[in-house]
């Protein structure tokens, strides 16, 4: 596949403030960071002050209140992270969906949405289970929780792109990494294409439990046809040899996973381990400061890399619309998913790298 080369861009450098930050880490994940919740060494946490050099004081105080509630065993709504949340942008509105009514188990807290997807000759309805937007003790102190907050725009775009290009998955083995609570892209590939095998993964146990509900519901409705679908927990830093897969993958899918600096090399190793020689990883993520380029730089020592900003006219037009009419909540650097293709070479020569402008 030959994506268009990246073109120069003059409007990607908007400054992100702590208040305006809408990166996944602005919610529960930031509370995990030692700079945000400082241990005093006696199992108590130190309340951030107005002088906190890392995050804005008002936001720090709000996070402290959420943490205090969670420590008391109370659940609290992540959307209360205002002013971050009131400016929150989570969807480009590319996929049609609505609350699901039929054939859905009634459960407290969770909601099901039906995604109406075009699979060529017919429309298919994929049921997707969404976890409540709560911050609990577990979500603050457990494994990275960013995939349980919402379906991030990069996952939405990855799913949309895969649906449009579903024929490329015919007869192939696909694995999604870090798919979050829905692994929407992997599920869309399994439902819309003639892939032989789709493995959807995340390192967060709650995400994977939720994905198993989604797989079961859609399997019962025979949405996946002959495609085998499995949901498994996979942490990129774990011993990959214990991740049993009889055959390597033709495609890896990955959305919005480049932000975690400490995990970048592990993610690259994992992609390299799982791909067949000649296989490709489709990675979507916002540029988000320099995180996209930092990952690209590391990846270029292992893969043949290319980057595309205008990979789809509909997505690009939607982006222009948002930039024009919703600039109060939409920030290209934080929200527009750029596409990165990583190809595992058959031999290790001939690497190429295209970088985004700073
Ligand atoms: C920002 S979320 C993106 C989720 C989903 N792809 C989306 O865009 O909606 C990042 C995901 O990476 C997963 N993740 C972070 N570090 C990981 C690691 N070391 N191993 C496996 N998954 C990890 C998190 O659990 C989370 O689901």
Closest ligand 1 atom to residue 154 Cα is 8
- Asked if the model's pLDDT at residue 92 lies above 50, the reply is yes
Secondary structure class of 296 (helix, strand, coil): helix
Instruction: Give the pLDDT confidence score for residue 189 in this predicted structure.
Output: 98
Mutate to test the pocket of ligand 1, among 138, 177, 180 (most ligand atoms within 8 A of CB): 180
How far apart are the CA of 21 and the centre of ligand 1, in A? 18
Closest CA to 231 of 170, 171, 182, 282: 182
Measure Cα distances from 283 to 163, 205, 308, 338 in Å: 15, 22, 11, 8
Nearest CA to ligand 1 atom 6: 179
Name 104's Cβ contacts closer than 8 Å, sequence gap at least 6. 112, 127, 217
Mutate to test the pocket of ligand 1, among 146, 231, 236 (most ligand atoms within 8 A of CB): 146
Q: Six-digit token pair at 186?
A: 């992997």
Average predicted confidence (pLDDT) for the chain? 79
| 43-57, 112-126, 135-149, 251-265: the lowest-pLDDT one | 43-57
Q: Compute the distance between CA of residue 111 and CA of residue 131 in angstroms, rounded to an integer.
A: 7
* Phi, psi at 197, each rounded to 5°: -150, 130
Position 64 confidence tier, pLDDT thresholds 50, 70, 90: low
Q: Compute the distance between CA of residue 211 and CA of residue 328 in angstroms, rounded to an integer.
A: 33
How far apart are the CA of 133 and the centre of ligand 1, in A? 16
Question: DSSP labels for 49-74?
Answer: -TT-SSS-HHHHHHHHHHHHHHHTT-
Termini Cα distance of the chain: 26
How far apart are the CA of 236 and the centre of ligand 1, in A? 10
| 4-8, 124-128, 267-271: the lowest-pLDDT one | 4-8
Position 31 confidence tier, pLDDT thresholds 50, 70, 90: very low
């Amino acid at each position: 596949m030959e994506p268009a080369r990246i073109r120069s861009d003059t409007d990607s450098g908007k400054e992100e403030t702590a208040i305006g930050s809408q990166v996944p880490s602005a919610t529960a994940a930031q509370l995990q960071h030692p700079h945000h919740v400082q241990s005093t060494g006696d199992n108590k946490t130190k309340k951030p002050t107005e002088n906190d050099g890392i995050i804005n004081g008002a936001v720090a105080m709000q996070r402290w209140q959420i943490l205090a509630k969670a420590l008391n065993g109370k659940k609290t709504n992540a959307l209360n992270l205002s002013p971050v949340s009131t400016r929150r942008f989570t969807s480009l509105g590319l996929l049609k969906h609505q609350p699901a009514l039929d054939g859905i188990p009634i459960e407290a807290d969770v909601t099901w949405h039906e995604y109406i997807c075009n699979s060529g000759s017919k429309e298919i309805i994929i049921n997707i289970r969404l976890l409540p937007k709560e911050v609990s003790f577990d979500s603050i102190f457990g494994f990275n929780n960013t995939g349980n907050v919402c379906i991030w725009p990069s996952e939405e775009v990855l799913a949309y792109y895969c649906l449009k290009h579903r024929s490329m998955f015919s007869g192939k083995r696909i694995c999604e990494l870090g798919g979050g609570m829905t692994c929407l892209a992997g599920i869309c590939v399994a439902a819309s294409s003639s892939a032989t095998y789709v493995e959807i993964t995340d390192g967060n146990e709650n995400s994977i439990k939720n994905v198993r509900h989604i797989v079961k519901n859609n399997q019962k409705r025979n949405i996946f046809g002959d495609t085998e679908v499995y949901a498994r927990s996979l942490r990129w830093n774990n011993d990959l040899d214990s991740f049993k897969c009889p055959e390597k993958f033709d495609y890896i899918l990955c959305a919005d996973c480049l932000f975690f600096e400490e995990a970048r090399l592990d993610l690259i190793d994992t992609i390299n381990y799982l791909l067949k020689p000649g296989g490709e990883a489709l990675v979507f993520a916002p540029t988000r400061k320099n995180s996209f380029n930092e990952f690209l730089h590391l990846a270029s020592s292992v893969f043949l890399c290319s980057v595309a900003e205008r990979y789809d006219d509909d997505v690009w037009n939607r982006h222009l619309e948002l930039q024009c009419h919703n600039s109060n909540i939409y920030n290209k650097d934080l929200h527009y998913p750029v596409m990165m293709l990583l190809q595992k070479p058959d031999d290790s020569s001939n690497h190429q790298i295209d970088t985004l402008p700073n």
